[in-house]
Structure 1
């Protein structure tokens, strides 16, 4: 068996510190609770940084509710039958607006999105992913798969 060919040219400083070829980072942060009584809900800031051409923006910030994540996950499952889509953090019935519950949900949504954006087939093959993490006017009803 032949040894792999190795490059004899050292990496330049620019090459060493350049962003990876397929950079896609997301962060779920800054939860905010809105409304009163039965109309209360919490949304989360979704920050996206990327250099993947399928994404229109290199940097974006949008806000999403848990129900948006639920619909996004459902669309991903229908769209990507070859990929196992990770679960979302569970529904909470009691004390769902407590700081602890909101923080745990935020961490769960972060884990979910990191797994999704880390999957190579979803990074470039999903029609809904770029829109969900970048379009401030994302509308779950406009996605039929």
Structure 2
């Protein structure tokens, strides 16, 4: 790899599109879309989008802390028991904090070697399956899990686009 290639390497991360999910009358949670775009050799996919909730970020930080005892990990935004999706300020502040957390993590070479980070950012596996996959306890590898993730999402997006094109054509 040349110096020019190293200087041009980038990892762009965006936390956006908060969504409220109601599990039942008492339990609701918010998740966020995490979009990654990179040309870094560290990543299997160059673009990906996944949805994660705050508690999953807490889990990720804990995992990274186990592997990186010698470095100071960035902080997550504070947990707020009164967090409300309807409070635009709270939502924006949390998204900014989650994005800042990921940006700092992605600038730390030692952390980039953690397969759980890659699965968190580029697979649609839940936390339990991420742990199993990272430990080699699944029938699929980390690379396979990442490669297969969001295939349905991409196909739905492509199908939606093509059906919209067909609808436009039929209106002519």
Unaligned runs of 5+ in 2: 136-172
* 95 and 82 in structure 1: CA distance in 2 versus 1, 3 angstrom threshold: closer
Number of residue pairs the alignment of both structures matches: 128
- Alignment partner of 2:103 out of 93, 96, 114: 114
**Match of 2:26?**
38
Bigger RCO (CA 8 Å, 6+ sep): 1
Deviation at 1:20, TM superposition (A): 4.4
- Give the alignment's Cα RMSD to 1 decimal: 2.3
- Alignment partner of 1:23 out of 2, 10, 24: 10
Please give the secondary structure, in 2, of the residue aligned with 1:143: helix
Farther-moved stretch of structure 1 (56-65 vs 92-101): 92-101
Structure showing the higher helix proportion among its residues: 2
Matches within 5 A, 1:1-145: 20-35=7-22, 37-97=25-85, 98-123=87-112, 125-140=113-128, 142-143=130-131
Q: TM-score, normalised by structure 1?
A: 0.77
Farther-moved stretch of structure 1 (55-64 vs 134-143): 134-143
Moved over 6 A (4+): none
Q: TM-score, normalised by structure 2?
A: 0.66
